A = this chain, B = another copy of it.
Amino acid sequence: MKNQTDVQLNLLIDSIKQDIIFGRLRPRERLLEDQLSERFNMSRHQVRMAFSVLDQMGLVTRRPNKGAIVRDFSVEEAEEVYELRALLQGEAARRIPMPAPADLLNRLDQIQEAFCAAADAGDLQRVCKLNNEFHGVIFGACNNRYLAETIDRFWIQTLGIRCYAIGDPALLVHSRNEHAAMIRYLREGDRESFVQLCIDHIWRPFEAYKRAHGGWTTLQQSA
């Protein structure tokens, strides 16, 4: 299906995504083609291709002859993205069949169990992966592939915003409880509560982001 260079390419893309969500790569940080091509043993062309994909994903920004930098959101921009995410996730929540199909509930239970285990074990990387999976499965069930796709798109774009929340144990507990509540509402068929929770759920990481950016106005925004 996929040839080998595609695999390598995805490897690089995932690696950069990881670096962004865990804050190892900071907003506006430069990404050098030579550096990465050497580190990952791939041609500069492939790195460039990866940049192009990441650019379209909205994770990095490219300017002619100046290369790629990690995308930066001003607080205002971040707020607008979150408003849109709230709209989309609310609509998706309204479109999920209810009471939810047993198949969906089973998968969510499984993911939630693994999520709790990873959280207890302090395995942040696995927590993050399972969190992605949980959201993907929930909103993938909305019966509109483009709605699901768009939710996923902005889920990825906000990796760099959510990185301020990833390490906070209090937020992790919140996530876990809210995920459990989502499953409960789905099982009980409590649509109103479910929709509201899907909307409210996204804002806590944004609050963390705002706190981190509080005070300083965005410097060299137009540079």
Contact = CB atoms under 8 A, between A and B. Distances in A.
Interface stretch (A15-23, A78-86, A113-121, A169-177): A78-86
Interface residues of A, number: 19
A216 interface: no
Contacts of A64: 2-3, 6
Contact of A52 (B52, B81, B87, B91): B52
Contact of A87 (B81, B91, B154): B91
* Copy total for this chain: 2
B80 A144 contact: yes
Interface in A120-177: 144-147, 150, 154
A52 B48 CA distance: 12
21 contacts: A2-B64, A3-B64, A6-B64, A52-B52, A56-B56, A77-B145, A77-B146, A80-B145, A80-B146, A80-B147, A81-B146, A83-B147, A84-B144, A84-B146, A84-B147, A84-B150, A87-B87, A87-B91, A87-B147, A146-B154, A150-B150
Q: Which 5 A-B pairs have the closest CB atoms?
A: A56-B56, A80-B144, A84-B146, A81-B146, A84-B147
